[in-house]
Structure 1
Amino acid sequence: MTEVLWRPLSDAFLGVGVFVALLVAPFGWARLRWGRAIDDALVRHRRLAPLAGAALTLPPGCGGAILVATLYGRGGVTYGTAVAALVATMGDASWVLLAADPWLTLQLKLLLVVVGTTTGYVVDALGIDPRRDRAPAPPAQPAQPALPAQPAQPALPAVLARLDAPQRVGALALAPLAVLWGLLGAGAALSLPATFRLLDPAAVGSSVGLPDPALLLGCTGTLAAVGYLWLHRGRDCTGEPTGLRDVFRSGAHDVATVTAWVAVAFVGWAVLEAVTGLHPQDLPLVGVTGVVVAALVGLVPGCALQIVFCGVFVAGGMPLPTLVANMVSQDGDALIPMLALQPRSALLAGAITTAPALLVGGLLLLLT
């Protein structure tokens, strides 16, 4: 039970979630500080926009690609710029890979920026842009007769206004946020020394007659992440931050999302191995079939499935060409605002990103 359930749950939090937290807050602050300046620069320098759009995805997560996709939906950048960002982004799956292998993450990120930039310039050179023309304005409706004025409602007493719900609700809403960040801080204090072999949590626990503190804290952290997601289900955390509270809320949501889906991948893989004795080479994730499957999985909008897919790679369940094909094809959460603003453009962009995914994945397959 420990190796099939508890250990994967703990690894998801201490091995991935904690390291995501160490990076997501600084990147969130940078987005708060310079987000508007980046928007303006992209609009002014349109010829360099595909390169800039791809480069904006260098920070982990979906923020850069969401920014570019939203700008395209508002008419601020070319279609090639949006496609460049969609190809280059690794989405929230980048946090998983960054925690497991930072050097490989940097190499793949540079590769994706090159592929994304090239694809973006090709799209612009071919004049591809299915942006829908503005619909004609509806005819003006005749003015309606004014309704008789309603008597004004009595105002609430000042005492009730001061005791209104927002303050109490705000305080309660901060509790899960504080708990999650507190667990992340404790996890960092435990996991960083363990990573550099300065501390063995299991030995420390056994020396004082207690369970493995890493196992206990890691499982608690993963369950807290799942609980945080459940409490904040249906809320949009992809908007531009307007203050430090938004930075921490958005960061907590990113950490919780990545941790929860990595836990699904780790536990699922451990159960699959324990029940069936299946090995990575037995799955249809190798060779040409693996590249094709990975590119098709990348067509699914959002980061959840892509995080699981990357988690399988980290667990040893697929080769590098399969992962790269998925990374090129997937669009993270960036396709969602484009689907809302320009649905035809978003659907075509998803199809376009599949072509370089198959090409790059196939080339890596031949070279490795």
Structure 2
Amino acid sequence: MNEVLTVLLGSLRDGYVQVSAFVAVTVLAFGLVQYWTGGAVISAIEDNERLQVAFGGLLGLTPGCGGAIVVMPLYVRGTVSFGTVVATLGATAGDSAFVILALAPEAALYSYAIAFAASVATGYLVDSYGLGVSRIDAAVAQLSPAATPDGGTVVNGGVGPNPAHDYGGPAPTHAHESGPDRESRILTPLSHLAHVVWWIAAAAGLVLGSLYLFRGGPEIPLTTGLGFDGLFTIVGITGAVLSLYLYLIGRHYVGEGEIARARDSFKSAYDTLTHAAMETSFVTVWVLVAFLVYEYVVLFSGVNVATLAATAGVLAPIGGAAVGLIPGCGPQILLASVYAEGGLPFSALTANAIAQDGDALFPLLAVDAKAAIVATIYNFLPAVVVGVALHLLWGPVFGMAEFGFGVL
């Protein structure tokens, strides 16, 4: 029982400090750009259909998941192509990028450049030719007979709302003018206070998370106090609990009640902060679920995903791509840490970088699970091809060791 509780508290803490604090910064950064430019960034993406895939890849390439999270709701509302979604998710390195950038920057440069090129190419293929949509749809239908995937359609004459979507009304824009959908003499001020404290925890978590990465990702004991370990635990658990509150209750009294929706513009800096906090809290809940599922599976079954991904030979990049299929950043952060310790080859790291979707897949899963499944399959295929090719060519052609490449 103590071990179960330790895993729970550790997952709450690590999920917030190692993931959510960084997600908050990236989501806020894009929100502030939207606020300062009056929505010009999203408008530029929507209006430049030929460049949407490349824009999506660039947003996905930014460390963390904030850039990619911005793109997902745009597909839901029908203003970017499915190929843009594929390119964005494929280029996304999630929060594992922070680990590799800190511990193996040269490997990060090569790996993420390859992932960007492969993902953008795949995105353009999806939009231009459909890339075997009928076969992918049939495969998904076999996994789930009730599923009728609508992703991967060819874009002809402009991007428009996908007729296969049925959201019960106009495509959502998440740009309500009415403000919160509930009012309460107690919960409204309490939610605003929780929102302010959440940002204080996010700022502290960003500092602690950065120090954690610079220290090489050491094991942090669950403890309290004013030292690094104690603050790491206190800030992490506090931020996670506040995220759960904001997601379950606070978003109805601060903000607009809805989540996983794009915003064209923001009325004020506080409105921008609110939106970033609510979106990050939404992602945090999914991250915590992923962390807990992963940790409890390891605890009760003894299965170690990282060990499986490190299988010798050509299976290593395939294993890295397979780990990338797991939604969220938890397993990917672990895999990146194993690479930084010299336990994985570069081909596995790159295959994982292409296949993984980070936390950006969660908003899409929440509103269009079918499209999320198809996008994941599309990214897994080039991940395996590129990973295996790197494994076969790395040593003979480049004369370099795959293990430990670029590690400081």
The TM-score by the shorter chain falls in which range?
A: 0.5 to 0.7
Distance 1:10 1:185, change over 3 A: same
Q: CA deviation at 1:357?
A: 0.7
The alignment status of 1:311 with 2:311, answered yes or no, reads no
The alignment status of 1:84 with 2:87, answered yes or no, reads yes
Residue in structure 1 matched with residue 311 of structure 2 by the alignment: 286
1:169-225 Cα deviation digits (max 9, x unpaired): 12212333333433444566677789889xxxxxxxxxxxx9661111111122213
Q: CA deviation at 1:89?
A: 1.9
Residues 20-35 of structure 1 correspond to what in structure 2 (within 5 A)?
Answer: 24-34=27-37
Gaps spanning 5+ residues in structure 1: where? Answer: 138-163, 198-209
Distance in 2 (alpha carbons) for counterparts of 1:169 and 1:68: 32
Residue in structure 1 matched with residue 237 of structure 2 by the alignment: 223
Distance 1:225 1:85, change over 3 A: same
SS in 2 for 1:56: helix
Residues 197-346 of structure 1 correspond to what in structure 2 (within 5 A)?
Answer: 213-233=227-247, 237-240=259-262, 242=266, 243-250=271-278, 253=281, 256=284, 283-287=308-312, 288-300=314-326, 302-303=327-328, 306-315=329-338, 316=341, 318-335=344-361, 345-346=371-372
1:28-72 Cα deviation digits (max 9, x unpaired): 422444583233323433222222221222333434434444434
Moved more, 57-66 or 18-27: 18-27
Q: CA deviation at 1:348?
A: 2.9
SS in 1 for 2:39: helix
Residue in structure 2 matched with residue 47 of structure 1 by the alignment: 50
Q: CA deviation at 1:356?
A: 0.7
RMSD of the alignment, in Å?
A: 4.7
SS in 2 for 1:359: helix
Distance in 2 (alpha carbons) for counterparts of 1:335 and 1:177: 25
The alignment status of 1:355 with 2:381, answered yes or no, reads yes
Distance 1:244 1:291, change over 3 A: same
Distance in 2 (alpha carbons) for counterparts of 1:181 and 1:173: 12
Contact 1:50 1:120 in 2 (8 A): yes
Q: TM-score, normalised by structure 1?
A: 0.65
Q: CA deviation at 1:91?
A: 3.6
Residues 45-194 of structure 1 correspond to what in structure 2 (within 5 A)?
Answer: 45-95=48-98, 97-98=100-101, 104-128=107-131, 129-130=152-153, 134=163, 165-186=183-204
Distance in 2 (alpha carbons) for counterparts of 1:196 and 1:95: 10
Q: CA deviation at 1:283?
A: 4.0
Distance in 1 (alpha carbons) for counterparts of 2:305 and 2:64: 27
Distance 1:217 1:326, change over 3 A: same
Gaps spanning 5+ residues in structure 2: where? Answer: 132-151, 155-160, 167-181, 216-223, 252-257, 395-401, 403-408
The alignment status of 1:364 with 2:367, answered yes or no, reads no
Distance in 1 (alpha carbons) for counterparts of 2:290 and 2:129: 39
Max Rg structure: 1
Distance 1:228 1:14, change over 3 A: closer
Q: CA deviation at 1:355?
A: 1.1
SS in 2 for 1:325: helix
1:83-130 Cα deviation digits (max 9, x unpaired): 222211224544555565566545433332211111122223324443
Contact 2:23 2:64 in 1 (8 A): no
| AA partner of residue 361 (structure 1) | G
Distance in 1 (alpha carbons) for counterparts of 2:391 and 2:85: 28
Residue in structure 1 matched with residue 144 of structure 2 by the alignment: none
Contact 1:88 1:328 in 2 (8 A): yes
Q: CA deviation at 1:269?
A: 12
SS in 2 for 1:47: helix
Distance 1:233 1:348, change over 3 A: same
Distance 1:100 1:294, change over 3 A: same
Contact 1:70 1:337 in 2 (8 A): yes
The count of corresponding residues between Structure 1 and Structure 2 is 322
Contact 1:20 1:99 in 2 (8 A): no
SS in 1 for 2:331: helix
Contact 2:30 2:66 in 1 (8 A): no
Contact 2:89 2:356 in 1 (8 A): yes
1:321-355 Cα deviation digits (max 9, x unpaired): 32322221123454455567766544332221111
Contact 1:229 1:253 in 2 (8 A): yes
Residue in structure 1 matched with residue 40 of structure 2 by the alignment: 37
Distance 1:8 1:49, change over 3 A: closer
Distance in 2 (alpha carbons) for counterparts of 1:196 and 1:108: 20
Distance 1:169 1:105, change over 3 A: farther
SS in 2 for 1:25: helix
Distance 1:258 1:103, change over 3 A: farther
